[in-house]
């Protein structure tokens, strides 16, 4: 009914969930691990490309400008998004969450099936 893999197919719909989890658990674990690494790499790259701000996120930056006529130095605020450590931490937390989910899925795939009562 669900495939031609011999005796490995589920006998009824109650066993289908357990069968599908075991059949594709390895692929799901690898996909979650890859997604976790992707979160880490993209988060770190975005943080570095945004200026590697070691504080909180900023959306303005100070720029010192010199008046050509008077020679007086002034501070001008310009709009610039600079992601802070909370963006880096969020990306790393999402990556760790994906790796944790992969670890739990790997452990559950090796456990015996739960029989309905």
Is position 88 within any domain? yes
Is position 8 within any domain? no
Q: What is the pLDDT along the chain (117 residues), one digit of tens a residue?
A: 444 445 556 677 667 766 776 777 788 889 999 999 999 999 999 999 988 889 999 999 999 999 888 989 999 999 998 999 999 999 999 999 999 998 888 776 665 555 555
The set of long-range contacts for 100-107, using a CB threshold of 8 Å and a minimum separation of 24, is 101/32, 102/28, 102/29, 102/30, 102/32, 102/33, 102/36, 105/25, 105/28, 105/29, 105/32, 106/25, 106/29
Domain that holds residue 45: 13-109
Number of domains in the chain: 1
pTM > 0.75: yes or no: no
Is position 5 within any domain? no
List b or e across 86-103, with b for residues whose CB sees 16 or more CB atoms inside 10 angstroms: ebbeebbebbeebbebbe
């Amino acid at each position: 009914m669900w495939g031609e893999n011999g005796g490995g197919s589920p006998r009824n719909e109650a066993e289908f969930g357990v069968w599908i989890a075991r059949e594709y658990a390895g692929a799901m674990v690898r996909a979650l691990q890859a997604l976790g690494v992707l979160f880490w790499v993209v988060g770190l790259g975005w943080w570095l490309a945004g200026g590697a701000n070691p504080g909180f996120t900023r959306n303005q930056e100070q720029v010192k400008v010199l008046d050509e006529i008077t020679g007086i130095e002034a501070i001008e605020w310009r709009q610039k998004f600079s992601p802070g450590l909370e963006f880096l931490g969020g990306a790393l937390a999402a990556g760790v969450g994906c790796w944790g989910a992969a670890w739990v899925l790997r452990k559950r795939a090796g456990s015996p099936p739960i029989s309905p009562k």
